[in-house]
Amino acid sequence: MSLANTSLHLKALRQAQLVDVRRAGLFAHYRLASDRVFALWQSLRELGDAQLAEIQRIVTTYLQDRRKLAAIGSEELARRLKESSVIVLDVRPAEEYRAGHIAGARSIPVTELQARLKEIPKGKEIVAYCRGPYCVFADEAVDFLRSSGRKAVRLESGFPDWRAQGFPVDEATSLTDG
C-alpha cells in the first residue's frame, strides 16, 4: 500500500476509535485503542479462516515453506518457559518489543539476526515469535536459525494473541533484553 493510502486507512480507523495515535515530531505511532479492538480483529481473523477458502489459498501461496517449520502453541510455550527449557526471541522491530513482549523474551529483530547470531546459544531450543499467525518474521527467523545449526520453532500465534490469552508480558521496557 502507498503511504497516502495507509494514512487514509489509519485516519478512518482513528475516526472509528479503533486506534489511538501518539505523535513524535514527524512520526505518528498508532496502536489499537483497546484490548476489545484486538478481540474484534481476532474474531474477524478466525471467521475469515473458517469461512473463506481464499484465505487458505493466500496463506499457502505466500507462506508455502511454513509446513516445514514446526510451531508450538501458547500453552506449550508457557510450560517450557516455566521449565526454562527454551530461549524466546521476539523478532519484531525493537520499538514493538519496547511497547510490550512475552515476559523473558529477548529482542533480536529479524533484520539483525544474522549480525547478532553469536548471542544465541546452540544448546537450547529457540522459539521465535512476531505479530501473529500471518506475520512472516518468525518464519524467516526460524529458517535462518535452523540453517545456522540451531534448533528453532515458531510460536503459532504472536504477541497480541499471547497477551490476550493472559500469559505473562512485560510492557514499556528499554531496548535491553527483557
Active site members: 130
- In terms of phi and psi (left: phi > 0; alpha: psi -120 to 50; beta: otherwise), the region of 135 is beta
> Grid coordinates in use for 69?
517449520
- In terms of phi and psi (left: phi > 0; alpha: psi -120 to 50; beta: otherwise), the region of 3 is alpha
Give bridge partners of residue 101 from the DSSP assignment: 170
Element (H, E) at 143: helix 137-147
Element (H, E) at 127: strand 125-129
Amino acid residing at 50 = A
Task: For the chain, report the end-to-end CA distance as a whole number of angstroms.
Answer: 33
Q: How far apart are CA 155 and CA 73, in angstroms?
A: 6
Element (H, E) at 89: strand 86-90
